[in-house]
Amino acid sequence: CKPFPKTLLFQLLGLSIAALSTVTHYGLHFTLISNVSLDGNSYRVIHHTAFYFGICLSMTLILAALLSSAATVRESQCLTAMGFFCFALAFCGLIPAACWRYTHSTEVEDSMMDVYDFVYEEVRRNASSPRRHELTAIHEAFLCCGKHSPFGDTATVEHKTCPPSQVRDAGQDCLQEIQDFLKKHMDFVFSLLGVAIGFTVYGMILTSFLWFSIHFSSNLNRKGKYILR
């Protein structure tokens, strides 16, 4: 029986998902928003859930690849079945994740912009607010400066919290910058989900063929053999 094909690709895919989950969870842009979000805002829940889901998914794919490889070497039906179960488990997690991304396409963006709105308006109302440092950090991370507010002049807030280069060059609106940044990131996440779904289906098909080939091969090897009692 030949070695299980594409094992390395499954492991790389699992590592890619783990790396993306880690960047999403510990990246500067995301941690800044998560740290200042309120308990009533859904962003912090989404932030942590996405990380743990990504890590579990990556571990499942890597385990499935290792089990399938070991099953091929040992010609074990049990290991093959376990590999198929891991691929099926990953598939059952990927489909709801992709559906959620499609049906809640703007929820993450809205929750991040709500956090920025809250911090900005609090600093605008009270220039000595402790959140002034948080607003400054957000401006520096997203390379933006303030927003268009219907509640009056915001020049004072922007001069105190925006990087000097952004103030001088009339920096970009932060709400738009946050939306553009997150849209690019979520498009990449959705593309990786699509690739992962395709590979898990491929893995389930391969492990199924592997299980049947081992099963029928063992039956053929027993034909014509007799046991004396």
Tell me the pLDDT tens digit for each residue of 114-171: 999 999 888 888 877 788 899 999 989 998 888 876 555 556 777 778 877 665 555 5
Q: What mean pLDDT comes out for the span 59-78?
A: 88
Higher pLDDT, 74 or 20: 20
Share the mean pLDDT of the chain.
83
Quote the percentage of the chain above a pLDDT of 90.
Answer: 38
Q: What mean pLDDT comes out for the span 194-207?
A: 92
Closest CA to 37 of 144, 112, 89: 112
**pLDDT for 222 beyond 80:** no
Percent of residues in the chain assigned helix, strand, coil, to nearest 5: 80, 0, 20
Using only C-alpha atoms, the chain has a radius of gyration, in whole angstroms, of: 25
DSSP state of 40: T
**pLDDT for 57 beyond 70:** yes
List of residues 6+ apart from 71 with CB closer than 8 A? 4, 77, 78, 79, 80, 82, 83, 207, 210, 214
Higher pLDDT, 146 or 204: 204
| Predicted local confidence at residue 4, as pLDDT | 47
| Predicted local confidence at residue 227, as pLDDT | 47
Q: What mean pLDDT comes out for the span 181-197?
A: 92
Asked whether 13 and 193 are in contact (CB, 8 A), the reply is no
Q: What mean pLDDT comes out for the span 67-83?
A: 87
